[in-house]
Amino acid sequence: MLGLLAFFILVLSSMNAKGFMDLVEDVRRSAFEPQAWRPSKEKFANNTVDEEFLSHARYLQQMIVYKTLKYGIKNGDIGLIDRAIGVCCFYFEGTEEQT
């Protein structure tokens, strides 16, 4: 474990700010873009879908909406509430609930 940590420290300390931000953007893209939580048909056919990562990515997507709505309500930000409510309605419609 210490060897891996030392490796990451060495790599990160040798990066410039742009390289680090590119790395952060790659991580963001791999977890938060729609392709992250909608794997390709080939992965399903080959049974190579990472179910744990897929579940985690979907959870993070829903948490972003929840935290945005919570922050908007707490601070009275109508724009944030409006944006989050639209997504919440979409989620609710997808559950096929009738309440």
Type of residue at 49: V
pTM of the model: 0.56
Domain range list for the chain:
1-30, 33-99
**What's the pLDDT score for residue 62?**
87
Judge whether residue 33 has pLDDT over 90: no
**Maximum CA extent, the chain:** 56
Judge whether residue 5 has pLDDT over 80: no
Instruction: Report the range of poorest mean pLDDT among 20-24, 39-43, 52-56, 57-61.
Output: 39-43
**For residue 1, what pLDDT band results from cuts at 50, 70 and 90?**
low
**Cβ-contact 65, 49 below 8 angstroms:** no
- φ, ψ (nearest 5 deg) of residue 9: -65, -45
**What's the pLDDT score for residue 4?**
72
Q: CA-to-CA distance for 40 and 12, rounded, in angstroms? A: 32
